[in-house]
Amino acid sequence: MSDQRPWLKNYPSGIPVNINVEEYNTLLDFFNDCFAKFRSKPAFYCMGKSLSYDDIDKMSTQFGAYLISRGLKRGDKVALMMPNLLQYPIAVVGCLKAGLIVVNTNPLYTPREMHHQFNDSDVSAILIAENFASNLQSILHETKINTVIVTSIGAMLGGVKKVLTNFVVRKIKKMVPKYDIPNVVTFNEALSAGKKFKIPEFTGSPEDVIVHQYTGGTTGVSKGAMLTNRNLVANMLQIKAWMKPFLKGEELNALSPLPMYHIFAFSANVLAMMSMGVHTILVVNPRDLKTVMKEFKDHKITSMTGVNTLFNGLLNHPDFAALDFSHLAMTVGGGTAVQKAVAERWKAVTGCDLCEGYGMTESSPVATTNPLNGTGRLGTIGVPVPSTDMRIVSEEGDVLAVGEQGEIQIKGPQVMKGYYNRPEATAETIKDGWLCTGDIGLMDEDGFFKIVDRKKDMILVSGFNVYPNEIEDVLAMHPKVMESAAVGVKDDKSGEIVKIFVVKKDDTLTEEELIAHCRENLTGYKIPKLVEFRDDLPKTNVGKILRRELRDK
């Protein structure tokens, strides 16, 4: 077997070849184990307030009981739509205690994007930060949602801090547009009401779907990857196995600037960190570099996850190098490629390796990562994690030899059950148990994998997938647009930015008009930064626009 898994010889000592995926029957069993082991330890911190593992346990029971009291039944879907707040881990565990399915939702979504996801996923309840409630109001009547719980940024901070934070957010920064949603309940009211109710007992199974995590997959419209207990337990155990030998000591503080609704932060910063009794430091707005740096001053940060843009931004901040990195034992970059220059500078400034990993929403997400013992290789995505097989195949499906380029395929217990209500797309993506990534790569003789080219047309902006089809569909809605194409253009700050090529139907069409139209229909990172008007677009003989030709030019 080791001939087929040459990477095993490069595993750091203490890391198992395989994990015991039967260690927990369900993710809820895992959470309950964490609460029993680490009850009195601090679990999550945000804006000056810390909650213990015991707090999360008790409050999540109240939240789950409240949802049941509102008529939600096992298997119903609950959307969670907020930045990194203490409410999030409470809500996730509460939903699982009640046998409900979590639908992680990007709070920056426009009403159009929300409408698609909530209807595609059959969402019946939502917990949403009040900042985004006006967007919900505009599409609520077109969804099946009948339970709306809103929360404020300061809701869990208590006392004067809560009042002050909410006053600043609402009145001074004016970050909460007016909304009027009938029968709305606040998060704190839900927790209080939940004390009066009980959650009916049920027995979950490893194959139960517990999370719908949305992704564009390799094509077109956003799809819900169905992640099961087994998938998420497995990936948690895989990440834990990889990290645990390098996280030692009683006081472990993990800095979590990545949003927990993103699958990388969900599996790494919520699940894997909880498995080790870590205190996770949440950053509400990772773009605010001063806040990120403040957490280094206030806590002895032992580990950090992030994306290339964040690491680059910190390195370019004049005050960053003066911070104390003496406790930093591990930094992991995911979501998008870590640039070699950034990794080298990070090591020089912090003394800690910046290790790159790789995965997809469809693999829960971690499939590979670089070793954390200093033997990682810059420019590679590392080696497969325990209990994971990877291979390179040709277009015909033949397994290729070392050094040959082809599509990366992944097999392991973390590979999703499929896409919700999309059997054809599932069959295209999972073949004989192998997840077809659409990424072109190669494996060297030591089992390190490298990505050579990315999914045919996907654009990766600061770790977020942007699919040209979606942008082009929005452009097609504009009455003055004849046809369009969206491509990714390299950018030092965010990895890539969106550029659009547009053929006008009406000569009066301006760049400003197009961008304003996109802003109404697309979340921030999907909005094109460059616009080029053309008389025509290159096409194949069957009329398909050649995005690659536009990109290469």
Q: Is 139 left (phi over 0), alpha (psi -120 to 50) or beta?
A: alpha
pLDDT score for 454: 66
pLDDT at 39 over 80: yes
At 1 the pLDDT is: 38
The reported pLDDT for the residue numbered 553 is: 77
pLDDT over 60 at 428, yes or no: yes
121-125 contacts, C-beta under 8 A, 24 or more apart: 121/77, 121/79, 121/212, 121/214, 121/224, 121/420, 122/77, 123/77, 123/78, 123/79, 124/72, 124/76, 124/77, 124/78, 125/67, 125/70, 125/72, 125/76, 125/77, 125/78, 125/79, 125/100, 125/149
Annotated domain spans of the chain: 27-203, 384-453, 459-552
Least confident of 204-213, 253-262, 339-348: 339-348
- Encoding tokens for residue 77? 């879907």
Helix (H, G, I), strand (E, B) or coil at 160: helix
For residues 428-444, average pLDDT: 94
Residue 220's pLDDT is 60
Q: Residue 64: pLDDT above 60?
A: yes
Instruction: Indicate the pLDDT class of residue 379, thresholds 50, 70 and 90.
Output: confident
CATH topology of domain 384-453: Luciferase; domain 3 (2.30.38)
The string of pLDDT tens digits covering residues 262-274 is: 999 999 999 999 9
pLDDT of residue 458: 80
Mean pLDDT of the chain: 94
Give the pLDDT mean for 346-368: 96
Two structure tokens written together for 263: 């699958």
Span 62-67, mean pLDDT?
98
pLDDT at 264: 94
pLDDT digits (tens, 9 = 90+) for 118-143: 999 999 999 999 999 999 999 999 99
Least confident of 160-169, 191-200, 452-461, 540-549: 540-549
**pTM of this prediction?**
0.89
Top-level CATH class of 27-203? alpha beta
Task: Return phi, psi of residue 358, to 5°.
Answer: -150, 145
Helical pair 53-69 and 27-38, crossing angle rounded to 10 deg: 140
Rg (CA), the chain: 23
Statement: residue 333 has pLDDT above 80: yes
What are the tens digits of pLDDT across the range 179-230?
999 999 999 999 999 999 999 999 999 999 999 999 854 456 789 999 999 9
Fold of the domain spanning 459-552:
GMP Synthetase; Chain A, domain 3 (3.30.300)
Q: What are phi and psi of 465, to 5 degrees?
A: -75, 130
pLDDT at 218: 45
